[in-house]
Amino acid sequence: MTKYVYSFGDGKAEGSKEQKNLLGGKGANLAEMNTVGIPVPPGFTISTDVCTYYYDNDESYPDELAAQVDEALAATERVMGKRFGDAADPLLFSVRSGARVSMPGMMDTVLNLGLTDETVKGLIAATNNERLGWDSYRRFIEMFSNVVKGVDRGLFEEAMEEIKQDKGVKLDTELDAADLRRLTERNKAIYKDELGEDFPQDPRKQLWEAITAVFGSWNNPRAIVYRRINGIPHGWGTAVNVQAMVFGNMGDDSATGVAFTRDPATGAHDFFYGEFLLNAQGEDVVAGIRTPQQLTRAGSLQWAESQEIDEAVRAAEYPSLEELMPEVFTELDEIRVKLEAHYKDMQDIEFTIQQGKLWLLQTRTGKRTSAAAVKIAVDMAGEGLIDRSKALLRVDPRRLDDLLHPVFEQAALAEAKLLAKGLPASPGAATGKVVFKAEDAVAWAEKGEKVILVRLETSPEDIDGMNSAVGILTARGGMTSHAAVVARGMGKCCVSGCGELEIDYKAQRFEVAGVTVNEGDWISIDGSTGRVYAGRVTTVDPELTGDFGTFMGWADEVRRLGVRTNADTPHDAEVARGFGAEGIGLCRTEHMFFGDERILAMRQMIIADDSEGRRKALEKLLPYQREDFIGIFKAMKGLPVTIRALDPPLHEFLPHDEKEQRELAQALGVDVERIVNRIRQLAETNPMLGHRGCRLGIAYPEITAMQVRAIFEAACQCKRDGTEARPEVMIPLISTKAELDNQVEVVKKTAADVFEEQGLEVDYLVGTMIELPRAALTADKVAETAQFFSFGTNDLTQTTFGLSRDDSGKFLPEYVEQNILPVDPFQVLDQEGVGLLVEWAVEKGRKTNPNLKVGICGEHGGEPSSVEFCHRTGLNYVSCSPYRVPIARLAAAQAVVREG
Amino acid sequence: MTKYVYSFGDGKAEGSKEQKNLLGGKGANLAEMNTVGIPVPPGFTISTDVCTYYYDNDESYPDELAAQVDEALAATERVMGKRFGDAADPLLFSVRSGARVSMPGMMDTVLNLGLTDETVKGLIAATNNERLGWDSYRRFIEMFSNVVKGVDRGLFEEAMEEIKQDKGVKLDTELDAADLRRLTERNKAIYKDELGEDFPQDPRKQLWEAITAVFGSWNNPRAIVYRRINGIPHGWGTAVNVQAMVFGNMGDDSATGVAFTRDPATGAHDFFYGEFLLNAQGEDVVAGIRTPQQLTRAGSLQWAESQEIDEAVRAAEYPSLEELMPEVFTELDEIRVKLEAHYKDMQDIEFTIQQGKLWLLQTRTGKRTSAAAVKIAVDMAGEGLIDRSKALLRVDPRRLDDLLHPVFEQAALAEAKLLAKGLPASPGAATGKVVFKAEDAVAWAEKGEKVILVRLETSPEDIDGMNSAVGILTARGGMTSHAAVVARGMGKCCVSGCGELEIDYKAQRFEVAGVTVNEGDWISIDGSTGRVYAGRVTTVDPELTGDFGTFMGWADEVRRLGVRTNADTPHDAEVARGFGAEGIGLCRTEHMFFGDERILAMRQMIIADDSEGRRKALEKLLPYQREDFIGIFKAMKGLPVTIRALDPPLHEFLPHDEKEQRELAQALGVDVERIVNRIRQLAETNPMLGHRGCRLGIAYPEITAMQVRAIFEAACQCKRDGTEARPEVMIPLISTKAELDNQVEVVKKTAADVFEEQGLEVDYLVGTMIELPRAALTADKVAETAQFFSFGTNDLTQTTFGLSRDDSGKFLPEYVEQNILPVDPFQVLDQEGVGLLVEWAVEKGRKTNPNLKVGICGEHGGEPSSVEFCHRTGLNYVSCSPYRVPIARLAAAQAVVREG
């Protein structure tokens, strides 16, 4: 005889967690908990085989089924000491579907099954709560009618509405037992109107109808679509779980509560964290009307102290469960240990005590703060509960950010006025006075003010101002806009693309949500959430614990992927080294040209008519660049430093407003017309696809030569001072090998010149960004010259998608919302398209040059799923902004662990 | 005994054209011509085996060589009836290198070898020309010293300069025999100074030194580099060709001339086209000092008539060769027939008659006009000289353009003043009055004026003006700028990127080359050469001959690739059908929105706040679009018409200047602020990568719906009127399948609605442009939905290279010049990079959808090498601008022929 029904209860179960295919995920887990000795309400699971049988046999059941259900039902009755359909004290059931994998398309839960006109009286007697009895019954009718029989839920809502209007009240809670009894009658009438029959008064009929409804729901259209989309075979079928209901509101020997096996805020487990209410239902705890009591005496004492409650009052009014029901408490505490031993993770528990008997309603992995996650992982590994590999998977790399940046004080935040919401462009919290100009940010900061720089969008000219500000807020631009990228690089908080802001530069103010914020007014921004608040909100600095160090050390032991940082200044380089960066993967040189004296020489270079004029101006820039590189080499203490040659189009360096143009003309002693003409001449329709990257170096080889000279003079200087420098010169934006060849020749010649002049040599590499599809497609050729590739996946994403970072903010969010794109490809590497190019290029490049070093330096280098992709694709390293270095380290380690 | 030396002469030769490996290309051809019976000056070839021996044996010669050279030399003497080194009438030689393939890196020719202090006197006696004798000798010393012995040529130039200064003259020709004799002495002195020995007076020593120099030149650095770049094995070696010199200036029984086997201007061969000079050298013909005479009497009579020369004068002063030397003429005429029979193509011949004996100095394939090329190909196939496949290869497809567009009259052109040179953006010649505004072009044209529209660059707003103008001239933009693309589409001549123009819109004038051209002044532009002329230059319309039709018919029989056209108007569609287009591969719909009333509705749509407002405006556009499509469907008479949904970003449709913005506000009854705000809101940093293509259709599905409705209402209307319409709806700029899915749903739903309303159905396809790398990379997915792909290789080139068409004009020419790119990838498809994506997408797409129709509609569809690529890659069709249709047809046929 085939076994179709699997009972569980009272510490025994016929199934186990290995039988997900037969019992569904939920059924297997209910069985498992029983076996482990967790007291869960008993019940039984009807296997997926029945579902298969049902559809194979014209929607009928195997002959043996009814008897097996009866038997399992009887077993449940025995465990609960109650009878199904007992008019005096009825056993009630919940009925749920449960496939191998969770399937939202299927039947919801039906609760309180077994209530009838008769049994409702028994429930009222047992709970001594008439309102609860009728409320349960009218709800059961609604659920059964809707979920099992498909009656429109709106009809019941209307009925409820009418009764409330009759009584002149607004809230469901204002209805008393008599009202709910009336509603029950109305619901039954609706059932009859809709279905042409009376609401079933036979609990067994209710049960079988519910079972059949579950099996029927396997083939409802929603479920079919869901399976098609998610690739779930239609042949799997679902199981049905029938489980006894328990009540925490059956008197003072009953209670309900929630608990965590460790403190979800800190990860501590010095005592058992949890709360409960006597004679209450789960909803009462959630509703927060009554003050919940603590599980342990220690917890209770601590709580009373924090609330300034006298011990006498506490002991009388808010005793702990440990004090009130010591035996139940001990049982629960033992369960805590058992659950952690079994699930090997911190659990979030719901329990109910029904007339002195403890039932676990749910146990699930508990949510926790990032700090708690790290501590729990390290502690559990220390306790031997899990090994280090598992521990590494226990922390979401993305959330490490929380540990590195200031956050708003919770209490202060609760009182703050929310002004607007933009994009969470660079994490952390900041509070400061509003300024609208980069130069004001610098000036105010020098006077000791904390300022937040508010701009429509930022440009390279604003770098100094951004650096002086504590935070940046922009009205335009996405997660990878200039403001966002630079802010992340600086580890500075930034909210970008806050489109609601109406900024008026002239009046030095912005308006949002009916509020006018003037220059000098305080605002607070949260770069982790994108929220903008009025006024000052206190921030709290994070503290990196020893656990963090231990944890990251484990990550480093495991990972094979190198982690470098994108850093343009010695300060960034030092911060990143502190976070564990093993080199610089991208040092942009253009930001170095925006200092006061530098920008003038830079502009002079751009205005120059011929290479002679350019060379003169470049000679002025050389010492600055050299000093920059010396600073960076020294900060990196012998770690490799990848320096990218000048990349942005020259027009980015010229002043945009007339006043500055006149000043520049005066400073350079030329006609303002000449400046304006040059700006007009350099203007581009699509600067992203314009005269930039190596195209500049090819047109003006003297620029490349100056930069390379500065690099090697700096490297020689460092070597002389006792610091090894390992420069890796990177040529940007190539699309053909010939472009790279052209620039590599300049690099090699200049290096040779410098080495001869200096009388010493340093080892170096020359390589290229792979940031255009054509470079990736012809990687075999490019690798004949390149010693390394660094994927610039920001630009590669732009060109592969034909999508401008600067402009896509207008429609990309809508794309993600409509599921045309699963995620923003500028945040998460598009493995299907862009990733294909990366894989192709790595394979082709290494075929030509087996020693080719390959890294990634786009924003994706700090995004976990992208880091995992880089690991899988065999890259040598990822490079990301300093504050993302720990994220990348952990993600790289997780990639190894997941590989198994 | 190994044979190392191969003689030729007097109609006999020891080698043949099959022996290129042994005798080099030149040697094999000299042997061949002899065998065919062409009287070429006799001589001998020393084989490449000697070169190999030379390098394998420490730069020495095989023992047998000297005797073989002596023997061959004696044979040459016998044929010429002269002796090498004969003081009375010396035989002189030329010595040349000759490898298997032509190699510019190797030794040049040495002429007049064999002249010494003694033999020069014999030459003077034989030619009765003392000046010629000394001039030949001093030149020989220069050539020998420089080419054979490596003496700096500059030293001889200085010597010449000194002698001219001494004499106070400026030109070489002003030196007399005595001067040149002095110069000969000086040159000998230089030789001795530089090399420490006397100039060799033994002709055999001269000969051996020259032979050794040729073998030595095989390994000079230039030749080695050339071989490396071109992949020529170093082991091949070179041969040496020693050939007797002949002189056409040995008296009135001597002559020299050039001839063509058919008329290179028209292809006619009613008589023998050619000219000669009595008692002259080749240089004299080229120098044009004396009036050359015609070969045939018929030609001579015709010439005399055109020059209005009396028959008596003609017969006395300019008799034909036919009349003067009838036997020699007959021989030459027989050679003409022989050469064509042998080379199977029109030949360009150089000949010399030395003392009554005819020598062919050179025969090569003759250059010809496009019209001649077509006629010669058709005639030769008719004569059975070549088959049709060969005939098809005889015309360069790119030059078919010449046959379709007006050209300048040659005589008028000779007198025109060249103002500037831009890019040859759209072929043809035009002359007209300058206007600077599109609206002026329209207004003036309506008054019957021929105008040339001169702009910095054009934009879609200028379409009407461009259409009204006879030609377009722009200061900015490349070969694929807006002006260029649209002009080619219109078949209108255009010169773009003419950077020298300084246009002053305000003053309505431009300056160039010191000339000011005002509005209303005449200029003439040649879109085939990029030249801009002042004033009116008469143009001539081309006439399409029957030969053209015959020839293109042959092409159509052979080709397998379909050829469609890009056409936006019924007019373009008709022109293209006239040129043989088999459908429309790209019908852009955006140009349709620029008409007076349309643009207002379009702008109203863009300004609208919500989809309701947009829909209202779109309803106004619907009838216009429907009429457009009816016109195009009717013009195409049942051929397929691929219609692309709206592609450009919306801001392109809004007015740029304040005045127009105010007018628009008034017309729409809104505040001008609203217009300005919307323009600001829509502004994009990189519009090429912005909110355009399907991204518009996804954001505003009502736009797609309106366009699709217009298409299907038009198709139904046509069907009702008895014209089958075959619309293919094309979604632009997709990067993911989901985007296509979204738009295809709109298309299918709208089509179904229209069919139901109209009560009839038409067959249609829905497909997509593949113009972004990601679409190509994920073509397997995209093909699940798409019924066809059309490669938009313009945009695909932009994104694959990361290169903006609009901006790259500033540096792309430099790139091509520096050989960083072999050609402009916007003109010639980059097969290595962009082509790889095309191949990938075709393969992946067809794997998913074997019925996938694949075409190309970028500018490359009319470029021969790109068409060949499309054929090879298995595309179904190419689509190009109407005037390029014949080019594509021929290129597609040639691709088949070349496949063999």
For the beta sheet containing A509-512, the strands, ordered from the edge strand earlier in sequence to the opposite edge, are A502-504, A509-512, A515-518
Q: Rounded CA gap, B484 and B295, in Å? A: 46
Query: What is the spatial distance between Cα B299 and Cα B296, in angstroms, rounded to a whole number?
Result: 5
Give the Å distances, CA to CA, from B158 to B57, B153, B155, B161: 40, 9, 5, 5
Average pLDDT on B66-87 reads: 95
Nearest CB to B833: which of A688, A695, A778?
A: A778
Asked if residues B642 and B728 have their Cβ atoms less than 8 Å apart, the reply is yes
Q: What is the mean pLDDT of residues B839-855?
A: 98
Cα separation, A686 vs A690, whole angstroms: 6
By the 8 A CB rule, do A648 and A716 touch?
no
Which chain B residue lies closest to A837 (C-alpha atoms)?
B777
**What average pLDDT does the segment B134-156 reach?**
93
B820 contact residues in A (CB cutoff 8 A): 698, 736, 738-739, 742
Q: Would the CB atoms of B800 and A798 count as touching at under 8 Å?
A: no
Spatial contact of B26 and B96, defined as CB atoms under 8 Å apart: yes
Which residues have a Cβ under 8 Å from the Cβ of A168 and sit 6 or more positions away? none
CA distance A592 to chain B (A): 24
Q: Is the ipTM of this complex over 0.95?
A: no
Judging contacts by C-beta atoms under 8 Å, the chain B residues touching residue A460 are none
Considering the candidates A493, A587, A857, A880, report the single residue annotated as catalytic.
A857
- pLDDT at B364 > cutoff 90: no
Say whether B777 and A800 touch across the interface (CB within 8 A).
yes
Of all residues in chain B, the one with the smallest CA distance to A802 is B689
Residues of A in contact with B814 (CB under 8 A): 698-699
Contacts of A839 in chain B (CB under 8 A): none
Q: Are B685 and A807 inside 8 Å of each other by CB?
A: yes
Rounded distance between C-alpha atoms, residue A857 and residue A288, angstroms: 49
Give the type of residue at A540: V
pLDDT in tens, B20-41: 999 998 899 899 899 888 999 9
Residues of chain B with C-beta less than 8 angstroms from the C-beta of A810: 691
Q: Which strands make up the sheet holding A357-365, listed edge to edge?
A: A293-294, A273-278, A255-260, A347-354, A357-365
Angle, to 10 degrees, between the axis of helix A153-167 and the axis of helix A177-195? 140
Nearest to A775 by CA among A819, A707, A719, A834: A834
| Minimal CA separation from B736 to chain A, in Å | 8
CA distance B184 to B112: 14
Counting beta carbons within 10 angstroms of the beta carbon of residue A670, is it exposed (0 to 12), middle (13 to 18) or buried (19 or more)?
Answer: middle
Report pLDDT for B141. Answer: 96
Chain A: residue whose CA lies nearest to B798: A689
Residues A497/A477, Cβ–Cβ less than 8 Å: yes
Q: Supply the pLDDT for residue B514.
A: 87
User: What residues have CB less than 8 Å from A628, skipping those under 6 apart?
Assistant: A569, A589, A592, A710, A714
Task: Give the separation between CA B183 and CA B159, rounded to whole angstroms.
Answer: 7
Instruction: Identify the active-site residue in A269, A405, A482, A871.
Output: A482
Min distance B454 CA to chain A CA atoms (Å): 19
Query: What H or E segment, with its residue span, contains residue A579?
Result: none
Catalytic-residue membership of B482:
yes
Whether the pLDDT of residue B807 is over 90: the answer is no
Q: What is the separation, in whole angstroms, between the first and last Cα of chain A?
A: 41
CA distance A833 to A839: 10
Length of chain A: 900
Give B4: exposed, middle or buried? Use CB within 10 Å, 0-12, 13-18, 19+.
buried
pLDDT, average across residues B527-538: 92
CB within 8 A of B411, min separation 6: which ones?
none
CA-nearest residue to B777 within chain A is A833
> Known catalytic residue: B342?
no
Measure the CA–CA gap between B820 and A889, rounded to whole angstroms: 40
Q: Tell me the residue type at B90.
A: P
What distance in Å separates residue B867's CA from the closest CA in chain A? 21
Contact B803 A685 (CB under 8 A): no
Q: Where are the beta strands (DSSP E) in B436-578?
A: 451-455, 471-474, 493-496, 502-504, 509-512, 515-518, 522-526, 531-534, 539-540, 562-566
How far is residue B573 from each of residues B567, B580, B885, measured CA to CA in Å? 5, 10, 11
What are the C-alpha distances in Å from B839 to residues B801, B835, B846, B855? 17, 6, 11, 12
Among the partner-chain residues B739, B806, B811, the one whose CB lies closest to the CB of A820 is: B739
Confidence tier at B480 by pLDDT (50, 70, 90): low
Q: Which of B777, B778, B795, B812 to mutate to test the interface with A (most CBs of A within 10 A)?
A: B777
Q: Where are the alpha helices (DSSP H) in A803-860?
A: 805-808, 812-817, 834-848
Average pLDDT, chain B: 92
CB contact under 8 A, B738 and A820: yes
Contact A526, A493 (CB under 8 A): yes
Structure tokens at A290: 């009554």
Inter-chain contact B804–A684, Cβ cutoff 8 Å? Answer: yes
A contact test, residue of B774, B796, B826 with most A CBs within 10 A: B774
Query: CB A802 to CB B773 under 8 A?
Result: yes
Nearest chain B residue to A836 by CA: give it. Answer: B777
- Mutation to test the A interface, candidates B686, B703, B794, B829, most A Cβ within 10 Å: B686
For testing the chain B interface, which of A504, A696, A797, A803 should be mutated: the one with the most B CBs within 10 Å? A803
Neighboring chain A residues of B774 at a CB cutoff of 8 Å: 800-802, 830, 833-834
Contact call for B801 and A830, based on CB within 8 A:
no
Tell me which residue of A739, A811, A720, A814 sits closest to A778, measured CA to CA: A739
H helix runs in A721-850, sequence order = 737-758, 773-777, 779-782, 793-801, 805-808, 812-817, 834-848
Using the beta-carbon criterion (under 8 Å), do B778 and A808 form an inter-chain contact? Answer: no
Nearest residue to B616 (alpha-carbon basis) of B601, B626, B597, B598:
B601
Of residues B252 and A452, more confidently modeled: A452
Strands A584-588 and A640-644, by their bridges, are parallel
Which residue does chain B place closest to A735, by CA atoms? B801
Contact B249, B132 (CB under 8 A): yes
Task: Count the neighbouring beta carbons within 10 Å of the beta carbon of residue B756.
Answer: 10
Q: DSSP characters for B689-723?
A: GSS-THHHHHH-HHHHHHHHHHHHHHHHHHHHTT-
Question: What pTM, to 2 d.p., does this model score?
Answer: 0.82
For residue B702, the model assigns a pLDDT of 95
Interface touch A686/B811, C-beta < 8 Å? no
Distance of CA A184 to the CA centre of its chain: 44
State the average pLDDT over residues B216-223. 88
Q: Please identify every stretch of chain A with a pLDDT value under 50, giving residue numbers as ranges.
A: none
Question: Stretch B399-406: mean pLDDT, rounded?
Answer: 84
Burial environment of residue B334 by CB neighbours within 10 A (0 to 12, 13 to 18, 19 or more): exposed
Given an 8 Å threshold on Cβ–Cβ distance, is A688 in contact with B815?
A: no
pLDDT in tens, A845-861: 999 999 999 999 988 99
